[in-house]
């Protein structure tokens, strides 16, 4: 922070995902704050109705909390609002390539005085650049999340005993990721934090009703924290009551338990009202106080300090062209039932449940995103860029930076293995082990041929057949090709899946 900036009273413009004290407190606590509700941003995509509600609610609660410091302008576009405001503003680096180019245009137009580094993540973009370059000055040929994560743990001193990880191991995944408990319909743990809606939410709902925006999904009660105070309460509730179960059932699915032991913190984190280090410190405190097992705390820290930060940094590192990767040459359009979130048109119980979650809440948990929705899209060859756009608009926590590496990379392997070393997909056996869905499904996870052939089981073999050369060349997937070659009915399965219309 330069002396001139410290002294000046230049106002600070906050985007809707920059609403926490890390953006407007500290060195900036004396500045007037500008918030903008730009109609063009709300209309940019056909967003989930509940996503629009969360963003408007967050902005308006932000303005209310900042009181006289804040000016909230409603305008057609950001530029129009800045002109109307009439004073050049400071802004933190925004969270997408498009927005970054835009704020730099605003600097040239004299509407923005300066673009400041973002405090949104634990690691700065500059520090990542240094990490990405090895000591000899060359760029790392390949990134591994595990290397990044260990460096993050060391750098921020999280779950460390001196130079060593607490408990002697960096990764406790082997103790996590169990199937759901047998014979139970839910995990039977305290419910996640649920905010109380107030008059601001009521007004947002009335405004959205009257704006004539094209949306997807259904309206519903606000389920996610949008202010720093709500985020603090949500974090506390999670750490006190749900974290102990988190790691163990991280990958499990139960039809009657939509949230399982997940934290539901991606929305406040992505809105910038919860700082990632506050979340990991809370988990570490719970472990050190004996209130959560190490495996659970480590699993949670890995998600936030590892995966989330890694995906953010790779978004910038890979650049905007990354979104156009299509290594598996997948060109099928997303079907209407998918884009319309028409879960009732789907028979496959695992898929129906995940899609219904998106329709009803704009949210599904990680394993539903990766191993149900993502895996289905991969098997059926949906166009990766279209899929990424779909995730960005249909999920309440979908923001531009989080999509490419998660969707193009991790879930669709469209980047040829930059993010994940193998495509993530499976047959019905895995889904049957990790969920209670198959018992209620009209398909049979063991069947690959016939009217009750499971679309995931048959789809897995059809996918393996389509990409046999690529999969055979990868040590981690070569066995799938050998197994496929032993299937006597492979041709019939491939033919059946080529004609499958309904799921």
303 binds, among ligand SF4, ligand FAD, none (CB under 5 to 8 A by kind): ligand FAD
Q: Tokens standing for 389? A: 């756009």
Q: DSSP letter at 115?
A: E
Q: Which of 471, 470, 500 is nearest to 483 (CA)?
A: 471
Stretch that binds ligand SF4, among 11-19, 201-209, 242-250, 342-350 (CB under 6 A): 342-350
Contact, 412 vs 328, CB < 8 A? Answer: yes
Residue 459 makes contact with ligand SF4 by CB under 6 A? no
Distance CA 328, CA 367 (A): 22
Return the one option of ligand FAD, ligand SF4, none that residue 131 interacts with (CB less than 5 to 8 A, by type).
none
Of 150, 194, 205, 366, which lies in the binding site for ligand FAD, with binding defined by CB under 6 A? 366
Please pick, from the candidates 15, 85, 395, 463, the single residue that binds ligand FAD as defined by CB under 6 A.
395
Please report whether residue 463 would count as binding ligand SF4 according to CB under 6 A. no
Contact call for residue 411 and ligand FAD (CB under 6 A):
yes
Pick from ligand FAD, ligand SF4, none: which does 263 bind, CB < 5 to 8 A by kind? ligand FAD
H or E segment at 468? helix 468-472
Which residue in 55, 243, 355, 441 binds ligand SF4 (CB under 6 A)? 441
The one of ligand FAD, ligand SF4, none whose footprint includes residue 391, by CB under 5 to 8 A per kind, is ligand FAD
Per CB under 6 A, does 266 bind ligand FAD? yes
Q: What's the CA gap between 447 and 112, in Å, rounded?
A: 61
Cβ 432 to ligand FAD shortest distance, Å: 20
| Residue from 369, 376, 437, 466 binding ligand FAD (CB under 6 A) | 369
Alpha-carbon span 170 to 167, nearest angstrom = 8
CB-CB contact of 331 with 383 (8 Å): yes
Burial class (CB in 10 A: 0-12, 13-18, 19+), 205: middle
Which of 431, 458, 481, 484: binder of ligand SF4 (CB under 6 A)? 431
Element (H, E) at 356: helix 349-361
User: In the complex, what is the shortest distance from the CB of residue 107 to ligand FAD, in angstroms, rounded to a whole number?
Assistant: 29
The DSSP result for 263-300, as a single string, is: ---HHHHHTTSS-HHHHHHHHHHHHHTTSS-HHHHHHH
* Closer residue to ligand FAD, CB minimum distance, 378 or 453: 378
The binder of 249, among ligand SF4, ligand FAD, none, by C-beta within 5 to 8 A per type, is none
State yes or no: residue 17 binds ligand SF4 (CB under 6 A).
no
Residue 24 interacting with ligand FAD (CB under 6 A) = no
Q: In what order do the strands lie in the sheet with 112-116?
A: 70-75, 33-38, 12-14, 89-92, 112-116
Asked if 308 is part of the footprint of ligand FAD (rule: CB under 6 A), the reply reads: yes
User: Please, which residue, 359 or 448, has the CB nearer to ligand FAD?
Assistant: 359
Pick the closer one to ligand SF4 by CB: 89 or 434: 434
Query: Residue 13 — φ and ψ, nearest 5°?
Result: -95, 125
Q: Which is nearer to ligand SF4, 200 or 458 (CB)?
A: 458
| Residues 279, 283: Cα–Cα separation, whole Å | 7
One of 348, 378, 480, 493 touching ligand SF4 (CB under 6 A): 348
The backbone region for 413, taken as left when phi is positive above 0, alpha when psi lies in -120 to 50, beta otherwise, is: left
Binding of ligand SF4 by 63 (CB under 6 A) = no
Helix-then-strand count for the chain, H and E: 26, 7
Q: Least distance from C-beta 340 to ligand SF4, angstroms?
A: 20
Alpha carbon distance 446, 86 (integer Å): 66
Binding site for ligand SF4 (CB under 6 A): 348-350, 428, 431-432, 437-438, 441, 443-445, 454-456
Residues in the site for ligand FAD, rule: CB under 6 A? 262-266, 269-270, 303-304, 307-308, 311, 365-366, 369-370, 374, 391, 395, 397-398, 402, 406-407, 410-411
């Amino acid at each position: 922070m330069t002396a001139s900036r410290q002294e000046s009273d230049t106002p600070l413009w906050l985007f809707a995902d920059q609403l926490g004290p890390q953006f407007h407190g500290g060195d900036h606590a004396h500045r007037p704050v500008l918030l903008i509700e730009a109609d063009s941003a709300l209309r940019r995509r056909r967003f989930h109705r509940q996503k629009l509600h969360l963003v408007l609610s967050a902005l308006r609660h932000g303005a209310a909390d900042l009181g006289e410091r804040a000016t909230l302008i409603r305008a057609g576009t950001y530029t129009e609002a800045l002109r109307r405001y009439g004073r050049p503003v400071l802004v933190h680096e925004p969270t997408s390539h498009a927005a970054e180019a835009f704020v730099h245009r605003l600097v040239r137009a004299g509407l923005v005085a300066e673009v400041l580094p973002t405090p949104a993540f634990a690691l700065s973009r500059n520090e990542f650049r240094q990490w990405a370059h090895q000591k000899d000055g060359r760029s790392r040929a390949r990134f591994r999340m595990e290397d990044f994560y260990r460096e993050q743990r060391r750098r921020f001193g999280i779950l460390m005993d001196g130079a060593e990880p607490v408990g002697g191991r960096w990764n406790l995944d082997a103790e996590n990721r169990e199937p759901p408990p047998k014979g139970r319909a839910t995990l039977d743990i305290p419910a996640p934090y649920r905010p109380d809606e107030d008059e601001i939410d009521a007004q947002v709902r009335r405004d959205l009703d009257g704006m004539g925006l094209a949306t997807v999904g259904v309206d519903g009660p606000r389920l996610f924290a949008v202010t720093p105070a709500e985020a603090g309460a949500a974090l506390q509730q999670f750490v006190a009551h749900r974290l102990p179960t988190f790691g163990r059932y991280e990958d499990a699915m139960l039809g009657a338990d939509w949230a399982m032991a997940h934290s539901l913190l991606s929305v406040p984190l992505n809105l910038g009202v919860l700082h990632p280090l506050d979340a990991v410190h809370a988990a570490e405190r719970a472990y050190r106080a004996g209130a959560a097992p190490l495996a659970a705390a480590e699993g949670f820290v890995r998600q936030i300090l590892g995966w989330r930060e890694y995906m953010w940094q790779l978004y910038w590192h890979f650049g905007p062209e990354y979104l156009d990767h299509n290594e598996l040459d997948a060109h099928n359009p997303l079907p209407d039932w998918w884009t319309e979130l028409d879960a009732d048109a789907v028979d496959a119980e695992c898929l129906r449940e995940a899609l219904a979650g998106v329709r009803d809440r704009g949210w599904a948990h990680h394993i539903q995103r990766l191993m149900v929705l993502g895996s289905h899209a991969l098997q059926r060859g949906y166009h990766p860029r279209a899929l990424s756009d779909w995730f960005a608009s249909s999920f309440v926590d979908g923001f531009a930076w989080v999509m490419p590496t998660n969707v193009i990379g991790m879930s669709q392997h469209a980047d040829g293995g930059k993010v994940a070393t193998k495509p993530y997909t499976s047959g019905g056996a895995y889904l049957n082990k990790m969920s209670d869905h198959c018992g209620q499904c009209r398909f049979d996870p063991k069947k690959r041929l016939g009217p009750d052939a499971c679309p995931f089981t048959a789809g897995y073999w059809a996918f393996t057949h389509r990409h046999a050369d690529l999969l055979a060349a990868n040590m981690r997937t070569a066995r799938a090709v050998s197994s496929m070659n032993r299937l006597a009915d492979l041709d019939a399965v491939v033919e059946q899946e080529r004609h499958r219309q309904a799921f």
